[in-house]
Amino acid sequence: MATNDINRMKELNELLAKAADAYYNTGVEIMSDKQYDDLYDELAALEKKTGVILSGSRTQQVGFEVSSGLKKIKHPSKMLSLDKTKSVEELKSWLGEHKGFLSWKLDGLTLVLTYEGGELVQAVTRGNGEIGEDITQNARHIKGIPARIPFTGRLVVRGESLMKYKDFERVNAEIDDGSKYKNPRNLCVGTVRNLDSRVTAERNINFFAFNLVSAEGYEENSFSARLDWLEQQGFQRVYGITVTSDTVEGAVADFEKAIADNEFPSDGLVLMYDDVAYGISLGETSHAPRNGIAFKWRDETADTTLREVEWSASRTGLLNPVAIFDPVELEGTTVSRASVHNLSIVKQLRLGIGDTLTIFKANMIIPQVLENKTASGNLEIPAVCPVCGEPTEIRTSDEDVETLVCTNKACAAKHIGKFEHFVQRDAMNIVGMSTATIETLVSEGFVREFRDFYHLDDHKFKIVVLEGFGEKSYQKLADAVEASRNTELSRVLYAMGIPNIGRQASRLICAQYPTADELEHLTVPELTAIDGIGEILANDYVKFFADEKNLAEYHALLAELHIEEAAAVNSESAIAGKTFVITGSVHIWKNRNELKAFIEQNGGKAAGSVSSKTDYLINNDNTSNSAKNKTAKELGIPIITEEEFQAMVGNI
């Protein structure tokens, strides 16, 4: 089986996942439906040809499961840790005249996988080396662990599950617990051991095989060739190269240079004898096997002066301390900030403005405070939130970890979801305004209400120097904000986040009352007179505009916008008053959203699920066994193609 088939399958999965994410989450179509279908078919054909189905394949739907607990599993033999060194000379001496395999020492959670008949039957954590925990269901949602492999004998493989730095930052920002995870490894461990497998899937954990323990009937003796073979079976494998005592020093230097660009955390290197049989013949000591050795770099440190502690607000109300210090050079880059994680660590370090701090990079990547040499302890803990100015409070978790929180329920930092809704595609459509960006703008105090998005230029020189920003990224964001000023009134109404008033309801209301002034004065009887607006929606709507704060925010936002007149709904069309549900891919319209908008513009309704109120299900594949097709057939609802729908509409 050719390795390029596996690589092509990985590429296809990435392309399809990216296209699906763009279509459903941003509204940007990066490929046509035909292109998507062609790539999907190619992937399915390659899976059939190779016998490999990669983890997370777009052709598979793995069910989620919530466990009541993790079963304890005893390892067949004790999993020992490698001896360690920080000396390249010792590596050369240890290798001697033998060929070795040098690879990353990945910093995550070690897993042992067992396959039988080509299927994953068990995944166990390393645990204490003797007893681990069964996380098989979660393993089915880890990238790099194939659901099926072509090798049908019993196979046991070890590897590392870990999390990319960017995923760590994304997930850590969303955690509602009292204190955040300090590093990707801790978050990875918590995720893999989570009792709900959906959490594992959402957090994007990766697995890299680093050792083939056994494969029934497979005789290859080269350690590096065995890893190549695992890659052909569909596994992600650790990156490494073969070395000799003459080349190992240069190889270590090359690995060190690559650290800055590494997406995954590593805490050194591993050197194994490439001759597997020779390595095994050496046996083991009471605490370590003799077939390999770990190498760790000496941490580079630098002393600097603490100038400020910034308290960054999160959506949970937690105020996270960040040390700001005079810039220092570490591992080839300049750093001037380091997270201090929580109030307990601030107190342990006895931080004070002007203190001399020793800084290092954890895993040669993440800046951390190693020690405080002067420890003045004179830092003043803020009594008010930097975002809203309301009082703060110190809280202690069950683990005795102290955190600083904002007590104001109305603090803008606690309403990130409100701003996320505001910028989304169907609302104000501010392209590129991600959750992380919103959190930064709110935390820095630049965004407190909707209108503030349209005054980011007041803070430009502060924004461009923030981590993750720059002149180009700021300008791209500013252009997107400016483009969103020209919009329809129904989008504005939806963007306000009125309870139960969705995009469809906003369109219906604005079609009947097309001016901004009318919208804020509507009564319950006027609203319920609109077909499709019930009493619950009407009451929520009226209650929203009766709140003076909501009304003021509405007026302030309107002052920033240029409202375009929406095209009149064609209530005389052949589909007016009829309810449609759309499923499957489309090829006449650009995408399903475009078809949905067409239906609504011509007086029809586009629902999300099939019910007795549905008039037609639009599906180009009426032989599909999808749930919507089955429901439509059970209810006697006609299933029509796009062409049939087009004929129904006529010459619109």
Give how far Cα 387 sits from Cα of 149, 166, 341, 415, 448, Å.
Answer: 52, 25, 19, 12, 8
User: How many CB atoms are closer than 10 A to CB 579?
Assistant: 18
pLDDT tens string 527-539: 999 877 888 889 9
Could you give the CA distance from residue 589 to residue 594 in angstroms, rounded to a whole number? 6
Looking at the chain, the whole-number percentage of residues with pLDDT higher than 70 is 91
CB distance 322 to 340 below 8 Å:
yes
Predicted confidence band of residue 26 (pLDDT cuts 50, 70, 90) = very low
3-state secondary structure of 477: helix
What whole-number distance in Å separates Cα of residue 275 and Cα of residue 248?
A: 16
Over residues 65-79, the pLDDT tens digits come to 444 467 888 888 888
What are the two backbone dihedrals, phi and then psi, of residue 482, each rounded to the nearest 5 degrees? -65, -40
pLDDT tens sequence across 362-389: 766 678 888 899 999 999 999 999 888 8
CB 170 within 8 A of CB 145: no
Closest CA to 420 of 405, 409, 436, 406: 436
Neighbours of 528 (CB within 10 A): 15
Q: Which of 105, 164, 596, 628 is catalytic?
A: 105
Specify whether 105 is catalytic: yes
What is the CA 641 to chain-centroid distance, rounded? 36
Q: Which residues contact 18 (CB under 8 A, 6 or more apart)?
A: 30
pTM, 2 dp: 0.49
- Residue 315 has a pLDDT of 62
Answer with the residue of higher pLDDT: 369 or 31. 369
What residues contact 644, with CB distance under 8 A and at least 6 apart?
A: none
What average pLDDT does this structure show over 586-591?
82
102 and 270 Cβ atoms separated by less than 8 Å? yes
540: Cβ contacts below 8 Å, ≥ 6 apart? 498, 499, 500, 501
Q: In this structure, are residues 402 and 396 in contact, taking their beta carbons and an 8 Å threshold? A: yes
The whole-number pLDDT of residue 67 equals 46
Residue 29: predicted pLDDT:
46
Rounded to 5 degrees, what are φ and ψ at 210? Answer: -125, -5
Is the model more confident about 202 or about 308?
308
